[in-house]
Chain A
Amino acid sequence: MNLGPLIFLAAFFGLAWSWFGMVLTPQIQIGRLQQTNTVPAGATYPVGRPGLARQGLAVYRANGCAYCHSQQVVQTGTVCDVVLTDAGTNHAGLLVALRKLRPALSEAEDEQLMTGLPKTIRERLTKDEADPMVKTLTSAGAKATTWIVPVGPDIARGWGTRRTVAEDFLFDYPVMPGSQRVGPDLANVGLRLPDAKWQLRHLYAPRSEVKGSTMPPYRFLFEKRRIEHTRSSDALSLPSDLAPEAGFEILPKPEAVALVAYLASLRADAPLFVAPLSVAEPVTTSTNNAATNQTTAASSGATNAPAK
């Protein structure tokens, strides 16, 4: 029996099916993503990386940093805290409300809670638990908010404040989310380790900055130069065992400077509709407005909870 054309049809169908599901549909959904706004501040997000950071991305790609470093913060859930921001004037009423929320505390401790605001009253609740508590506090004349806190081992480790989402990579090419954690996650390294000098020293000699590090040194991104008149302000200040002989200095090549600029630009901490979290409000924002917006963010948190 001649089944050749039939096999071709089967192959065509099988591949078209997977192409439809894993190439076309993601392209329609994620490929058409536009800039979005942060919640509640409404700032545009993301903005493109500065030119030097883009060059740094090319250095990151060329040297395969992504084979050891992921850029994906994983979040296992979201919890809500109840935060008292303003005690108001009805202290007696607030005290009653506080005793209702924290029955285990003594009166003196409750009094303490009302000073030095803002203060977290209750932690790690679901939104359905937290919202009535906020209501109890506000009906006592105080100001309180439901504080959205993403949780997960990565976040507890300080690698990020929320999970990374597709928006964080919108303007990058190539996108390198990484597949291994031989080194720490870098999604928020610009926030965690903002010191460019530290980054340069770490690239030059990782073990001088992180004891027991397994990262290879990237000395080929630096050059040793004779000190002409005065020491360059860009020269690395290295411990004596790593420093070059007298009269010489170690200077970063443009690649190293660009790479550090890229690392500094890595921060995925904007509160978004798809990945809500509460952040300290900018001073200029009116508190009232922020509170309403925060509620919106919280409800979006309920519908967009991570699937797994």
Chain B
Amino acid sequence: MTPPSIQPASDASAPVLRTATVSEIDISCRLPLMVLFTSAAKWLVIGWVFELIASIKFHDPNFLADYSWLTYGRVHPAFSNSIIYGFCLQAGFGVVLWLLAQTGGVALAHRWLVTVGAIFWNLGVTVGVIGILAGDSTGFEYLEMPGYAAVLMLIGYLLIGLLGVVTFHQRRERQLTVSHWFFFTALFWFPWIYSTANLLLVTFPVRGMTQAVIAWWYSQNLLVVWLALVGLGTVFYLVPRLAGRELTGRYTAIFIYWVLILFAGWGGIPNSASVPAWLPTLSTVSTVLSLLAFIAVPLNVCETLGCSLAPARRNYPLSFFVFGVIAFCISGFARAGCALLDPNQIANFTWLNPAISQLSVYGFFAMVMFGAIYIILPRLLGVGLPWPKLVRVQLWLSGLGIILVVLPLAIGGVIQEVQLGDARRPFIEIMRSSLMSLRMSTVGDLLLLVAHVLFLANVAGLVIGFYRARAVVTYEELTEDLFKAARAKA
């Protein structure tokens, strides 16, 4: 390893060691990130079409009921997998790679291989979603993609993750920021949990209820820990820069990191689980302990912003971050509330559960990714957003949409919890009374779908704008001689 004392930038005899310029870094990231971000945006729209189909089935159970491919039990996991593996993880990889290269002052290592990795990943997600729709789901929530898709995804990830580590290793700027802690850990976290879950649940399945415990552990580590590591890493890096300030609580951020990796990974076992009582008990304890992180994050961000929303007022990417941080905090409290204040131990069977996961996956993580992609992609490609006004529209649509999805579901979930606790109330009546909130959330889903189409339009527009600009330049270069010759003749 290069000793940190070397000052590569001033060492002219070793050009390999010099710090890459900003534009060189951007050019190195261009192709892989373009693939990652456009595919992520595409999966977001595809996923939300699935969600809308699933949501409409609550209005009319006969809707598309004659196609086995589109039954609720297949469309719903197709939705969650498209969003999580197609959008969240993919966008997260892109942001992590860019920030590692950017903060390290070094070009992205082997960008072609990273691009191949991204293509493998997308191939895996496509095969996986088709597998789920064809009835090949594994049956474990959030790990539904069949084993053959998981292999493709793991190969893709290994290329992406490994080259992320290589980029980190080659960094010229030795000073680390807090974001490095989050990102570097996330790079290791995912392959470990993904391979453990796939090996123990799909390849060499363990016996009985242990499967469910491992599936809960996996989804908790993916949806709470991994998403928080990447999302918060992004927030802690970009928010201070967008607001033009320093991150005030550097040590608070490290504290948040430790709380997340030590406690959050133990949560996720519901109180009702048919397992020995120590598991849900420990899980509840760690969920409550991890609240420390969920309290500290908004405080830290608030202090960095000078405890005012003024910096976010005209700054839309920053508004995405602020929304995400608030959603992050609320989701943490809701999760702890579910684990603690649950007299009948059935909160995890109600609509509260999906409300909380939507809030943390979408309200927090996806919003942070939108903000980050709106900053990163135009910079990388060197062209402006084709429709900058749509960013504001998307912010409003996404914000309102997710509130309209989460709030009715949460209220419906609380009512459901109370009613399920009263055995005299017929079940069908409880079900029908929660339909109202489900139908309201369909409106939210519709808004979100529109928001995602706008997002995709902006991202695709950027890429098209980039290639058009490039084509024009190339055309001019190629035709220069012809024109010269023509002018000379005249």
Segment among B34-42, B198-206, B319-327 that sits at the interface with chain A = B198-206
Which residues of A lie under 8 Å from residue B216 when comparing CB positions?
22
Q: Is the CB of A174 within 8 A of B140?
A: yes
Chain A residue numbers with a CB within 8 Å of B427 are: 157, 184
- Interface of chain A: mostly helix, strand, loop or mixed: loop
Set of chain B residues within 8 Å of A207, measured between Cβ atoms: 61
Contact B137 A61 (CB under 8 A): yes
Residue-wise, chain A 253-294 has the 8 Å CB interface mask toward B (1 for contact) of 000000000000000000000000000000000000000000
* Stretch of B8-16, B22-30, B340-348, B377-385 that contacts chain A: B340-348
From B61, B66, B211, B217, give the contact of A18 (CB < 8 A). Answer: B217
Contact B354 A180 (CB under 8 A): yes
Q: CB of B454 within 8 A of chain A?
A: no
| B306 interfacial contact with A, CB 8 Å | no
Instruction: Count A/B pairs, Cβ under 8 Å.
Output: 247
Question: Binary interface profile of B, 396-419, with partner A (CB < 8 Å = 1, else 0)?
Answer: 000000000000000000001000
Identify which of B62, B184, B213, B435 contacts A30 (C-beta below 8 A): B213
Q: How many positions in chain B have a CB within 8 Å of any CB in the partner chain?
A: 93
Residue A23 interfacial (CB < 8 Å): yes
Q: Which residue of B lies closest to A75 (CB)?
A: B345
Q: Do B207 and A177 touch across chains, with their CB atoms under 8 A apart? A: no
Contact residues of A with B, CB < 8 Å?
Answer: 1-4, 7-8, 10-12, 14-15, 17-19, 21-23, 26-27, 29-33, 61-68, 70, 72, 74, 76, 152-154, 156-157, 163-184, 206-207, 210-221, 306-308
Contact between B280 and A308, CB atoms less than 8 A apart: yes
Which of B73, B188, B221: most chain A Cβ within 10 A? B73
Q: Report chain B residues within 8 Å CB of A7.
A: 176, 180-181, 184-185
Pairwise interchain contact A168-B61, C-beta atoms closer than 8 A: no
Known: A169-B274, A214-B431, A216-B57. 4 other contacts (CB 8 A): A62-B74, A62-B137, A68-B73, A178-B349
Q: Indicate which residue in A1, A8, A63, A164 contacts B68 across the interface (CB closer than 8 Å).
A: A63
Given A7-B184, A14-B185, the answer on whether A181 and B212 have CB atoms closer than 8 Å is: no
Most chain-B CB neighbours within 10 Å: which of A31, A164, A207, A221? A31
Q: How far is the CB of A76 from chain B (nearest CB, A)?
A: 7
What is the distance, in angstroms, from A8's C-beta to the closest C-beta of chain B? 7
Indicate if the CB atoms of B208 and A214 lie closer than 8 Å.
Answer: no
Complex contact B421–A15 (CB within 8 A): no
Q: Which 5 A-B pairs have the closest CB atoms?
A: A64-B73, A14-B261, A18-B265, A307-B277, A156-B423
Q: Is the CB of A307 within 8 A of B281?
A: yes
Instruction: Find out whether the CB atom of B66 lies under 8 angstroms from the CB atom of A177.
Output: no
Among B139, B188, B210, B343, contact of A11 (Cβ-Cβ < 8 Å): B188
Docked complex Cα distance between A65 and B350 (Å): 16
Contact A183 B349 (CB under 8 A): no
Residues of chain A with a CB closer than 8 A to B422's CB: 153
Query: Quick one: closest A residue to B220, CB to CB?
Result: A22
Instruction: Name the B residues within 8 Å of A175 (CB-CB).
Output: 208-209, 211-212
Interchain CB contact under 8 A, A26 and B277: no
Residue among B71, B174, B207, B216 facing the most chain A CB atoms (10 A cut-off): B207
Query: Could you list 25 examples of A-B contacts with CB < 8 Å?
Result: A1-B175, A3-B176, A7-B180, A10-B261, A19-B192, A22-B214, A22-B266, A27-B206, A27-B214, A30-B210, A62-B137, A64-B74, A64-B137, A66-B73, A68-B73, A72-B272, A72-B274, A72-B349, A152-B344, A153-B344, A166-B208, A167-B208, A176-B140, A179-B141, A219-B65
Q: Cβ of B280: which chain A residues have Cβ within 8 Å of it?
A: 307-308
**What is the distance, in angstroms, from A271's C-beta to the closest C-beta of chain B?**
16
If A307-B277, A308-B271 touch, does A153 touch B188 (CB 8 Å cutoff)? no
* Shortest beta-carbon distance from A148 to chain B in Å: 18
